[in-house]
A and B are shown apart, each in its own frame.
Chain A
Amino acid sequence: MSQSTTVPSQDHHEHAHPPGLQHHFIDMRQQFEASKIGMWLFLVTEVLLFGGLFVGYGIMHSKHPEAFIAAHTHLDWRLGALNTIVLLVSSFTMVMGVWAAQTGQKKKLIGYLTTTFLLAGAFMVVKYIEYSHKFHEGLLPGKFYAHQGDTVPGQFMFFSFYFMMTGLHGIHVLLGMVAIAWLIWRAQKGHFSSQYYGPVDMVGLYWHLVDLIWIYLFPLMYLLT
């Protein structure tokens, strides 16, 4: 009278234990799908984390529209657009990397991952240029705001949000670069195959999310009217 009978699970006897399969999963597919759900749940938390900032930005924007519009003119939309393109292309190379992994092409995989890594680096370089320009002009968040000659008061708040949002995004780019570097290293060691490429897929998802957030940041920050 029990809820279960037990069946000896035979899979482990029938075939060799696939590389990369953790002990508590029954097979590769269960492992892959579980980690995929886990990854998506994590992405949802990321969306809500950034979302909180977007909500704060939206509400403060609606309270002080003049200040926000005046402040955004200090940003250079050309650099923003450049970075948008850079991230979009990096997303493309990332997804190509996933494809290369799915089809078991190790060389291409490494190539695409490296390109993605370099594009991420390029993004950070542009960000660095933008930031140093802002620092120079005294366009700093909160009480450090020291820009001279403003006609509309309250612009410091725009820059509070600018630095918090792009800063948090920048941290995510850096973390993404670490993850991609780790993938390159593992790919070189030959860990991935068309049977096992979960980590590439997961990092890919993360990277696209970073791109997705920027897609919203760009018009909201650089192109206000």
Chain B
Amino acid sequence: MASENVMHANGHGAGAHADYLDSTKGLWSWLTTVDHKRIGLMYLWSVVFFMITGGLLALLIRLELLTPGPTIMDAELYNRAFTLHGAIMTFLVIIPGIPAALGNFILPLLLGAKDVAFPRLNLTSYYIYVVGALMALSTLILGGVDTGWTFYTPYSSTTGGGVSMMVLAAFVLGFSSIFTGVNFIATIHKMRAPGMGWFELPLFAWGMYATALIQILATPVLGITLLLLVMERVLSVGIFDPNLGGDPVLFQHFFWFYSHPAVYIMILPAMAIISEVIPVFSKKTIFGYKAIAFSSVAIALLGFLVWAHHMFTAGMSLFAGAIFSFITFFIAVPSAIKVFNWIATMWRGSISMKAPMIHAINFLLIFTIGGLTGLFLAALSTDVHLHDTYFVVAHFHYVMAGSNMIALLAGLHYWWPKMFGRMYNERMAAIAAALIFIGFNATFLPQFLMGSRGMPRRYYNYLEQFQELHVLSTIGSWILAFGLFMCLAVLLASLRGKKGVASNPWGGKTLEWEALSPPITHNFEDTPVLVHGPYDYRPQPVPVVVEREQGVTH
């Protein structure tokens, strides 16, 4: 047996054949674990915690906007609320969400590996995340941050409160993200099961790979940007402050050089999950494997060339605006390819409408709207009208909250039995999914209309004429919240039951379904060797030619 005479990071080998949840006991064994599955779960619970925190803040924001003028808070509190909401949701929820929580758990299993390439770095990255999260929360005591999550100078370099702390928190969180990215790329390159060539790689791994590329290439620039901002506050270095000869628009270049690619850190993992769920629940080979795989990488790389589409009205030059707009449009093409390939995968399949599939379909519908509304913003003349209105707010909630979060739910429902060895109540899960879909659209569809009619974002107070739409949106947010809490309750309720789900409840063809549910600490009893492609649903799968990859086989 493979694991008999290897050193155990957990200190002993007794639990090697028990599942990873029970192999060792006690809080300490979790806090010091280097098992990617346990780290993944710790990330998952942290992300859920912050999702709820950020979500409750969102509910307060929506409640405040029920009426124009003060409803439940004053302007300063409101500004802090949406800043914290935005910062928590981006830096603490959505960026680590799918890669660090689900990706950590699933990726090594998908590749047939025992762990990620650098398990200790993985744990370090989690603790850096915790430190960053605590720093972000500590701004609550330091007087709050009221800059918006974009920290635009010179407002951010002059306003009071805990701006420096929040900025440093984002800096620290960046390292967590970088380490995850480094780990995933090394893992995908070097830890694949024998026989797994690049085109036998499950598409989830391709998505993670593209995501990791962005994490590595863009995050350091965010780091230095934030450091410069802190320096500006502490030393008045002058780079962003026009009174000292600096250029405030330069900050926006620095910020968006990271933060635009970061939106693809958010959507690529979501797409990665959808690429797994749809073939399994259609019981059919993915349509256009290579197109989907390469489009992920194309989105990641193109994503670096378009950042200034957030700055069309910011006082950029005409030529720069034109170039950035032009390149932005090219990203629509790989996105379109993906959407149509997913639909083609369903075509003539054998479609089973289980909870993960319902979420996946919700994703397809919501992402279509979210993505296409990106075109309004990418086009120069319409963006001039829509920039910094609720249209933008609606656009990014459709892609972030709607697409990413719903894909996370799809993935969570899909892999839940693998992670915990238990099945949730599928009927209730389906009902929750429907509620989420309805609530989501009720919340954010009205915001497109408001924005088109001129309602600016980050507005505490607004004109009477927008109230009806705001009321609609607020009521929608309650339905959405109800659906999400129900969804969480359904999942948690399953944990009270006994373990005992079959190792492959959905009929998946990728390697993680070879492992037990829940998997043992070392994932597989023996190193798996690939014999057919990841989505081969033929009755007699045709064996793939076992490619002898350097460093993988021996």
Known A9-B2, A30-B551, A154-B245; contact A22-B7, beta-carbon cutoff 8 A: yes
In the complex, chain A residues whose CB is within 8 Å of the CB of B112:
4
**Could you tell me which residues of chain B, from 393 to 450, have a CB within 8 Å of some CB in chain A?**
none
> A118 contacts the other chain (Cβ, under 8 Å)?
no
Known A46-B220, A48-B221, A142-B237; contact A9-B526, beta-carbon cutoff 8 A: yes
In the complex, chain A residues whose CB is within 8 Å of the CB of B219:
45
For residue A127, give the distance in angstroms from its CB to the closest CB of chain B: 19
B524 touches A38 (CB 8 A): no
B506-542 vs A: 1/0 string, CB under 8 Å? 0001110110000000101111111111101001010
A17 touches B6 (CB 8 A): yes
> B118 contacts the other chain (Cβ, under 8 Å)?
yes
> A157 contacts the other chain (Cβ, under 8 Å)?
yes
> B239 contacts the other chain (Cβ, under 8 Å)?
yes
In the complex, chain B residues whose CB is within 8 Å of the CB of A144:
235
> B60 contacts the other chain (Cβ, under 8 Å)?
no
Interface of A is mostly: helix
> A148 contacts the other chain (Cβ, under 8 Å)?
no
> A188 contacts the other chain (Cβ, under 8 Å)?
no
For residue A143, give the distance in angstroms from its CB to the closest CB of chain B: 4
A8 touches B246 (CB 8 A): no
B220 touches A45 (CB 8 A): yes
In the complex, chain B residues whose CB is within 8 Å of the CB of A30:
190-191, 551-552, 554
B2 touches A49 (CB 8 A): no
A52 touches B220 (CB 8 A): yes
Query: When the two chains form the complex, which single residue of B6, B183, B551 contacts A12, counting CB atoms closer than 8 Å?
Result: B6
In the complex, chain B residues whose CB is within 8 Å of the CB of A64:
245
Known A3-B510, A17-B5; contact A45-B119, beta-carbon cutoff 8 A: no
In the complex, chain B residues whose CB is within 8 Å of the CB of A157:
237-239, 244-246
B178 touches A164 (CB 8 A): no
In the complex, chain B residues whose CB is within 8 Å of the CB of A52:
220-221, 223-225, 228, 254
A26 touches B554 (CB 8 A): yes
In the complex, chain A residues whose CB is within 8 Å of the CB of B185:
37-38, 41
B237 touches A6 (CB 8 A): no
In the complex, chain A residues whose CB is within 8 Å of the CB of B526:
6-9
A34–B235 CA distance with the chains assembled, in angstroms: 41
A141–B2 CA distance with the chains assembled, in angstroms: 59
A4 touches B246 (CB 8 A): no
B508 nearest CB neighbor, chain A only: A3
B119 touches A24 (CB 8 A): yes
In the complex, chain A residues whose CB is within 8 Å of the CB of B522:
23-24
Q: Which of A55-63, A73-81, A174-182, A217-225 contacts B (4 or more CB under 8 A)?
A: A55-63
Known A37-B185, A164-B237; contact A48-B532, beta-carbon cutoff 8 A: no
* 23 chain-A/chain-B pairs, Cβ below 8 angstroms: A2-B531, A3-B511, A3-B536, A9-B2, A17-B7, A22-B7, A22-B9, A24-B522, A30-B191, A38-B121, A38-B182, A45-B219, A49-B220, A49-B224, A51-B220, A51-B221, A56-B239, A157-B239, A160-B231, A160-B237, A160-B238, A160-B239, A164-B231
Residues of chain A at the chain B interface (Cβ within 8 Å)? 1-9, 11-12, 17, 22-24, 26-27, 29-30, 33-35, 37-38, 41-42, 44-53, 55-56, 59-60, 63-64, 67, 141-144, 154, 156-157, 160-161, 164
Extra pairs beyond A29-B554, A33-B551, A48-B217 (6, CB < 8 Å): A5-B531, A6-B526, A24-B522, A27-B554, A38-B183, A49-B224
Residues of chain B at the chain A interface (Cβ within 8 Å)? 1-9, 112-119, 121, 178, 181-183, 185-187, 189-191, 193-194, 216-221, 223-225, 227-228, 231, 234-239, 244-247, 250, 254, 509-511, 513-514, 522, 524-534, 536, 539, 541, 551-552, 554
9 tightest Cβ-Cβ pairs between the two chains A and B: A52-B224, A142-B235, A160-B237, A24-B115, A48-B220, A4-B528, A49-B220, A24-B114, A6-B526
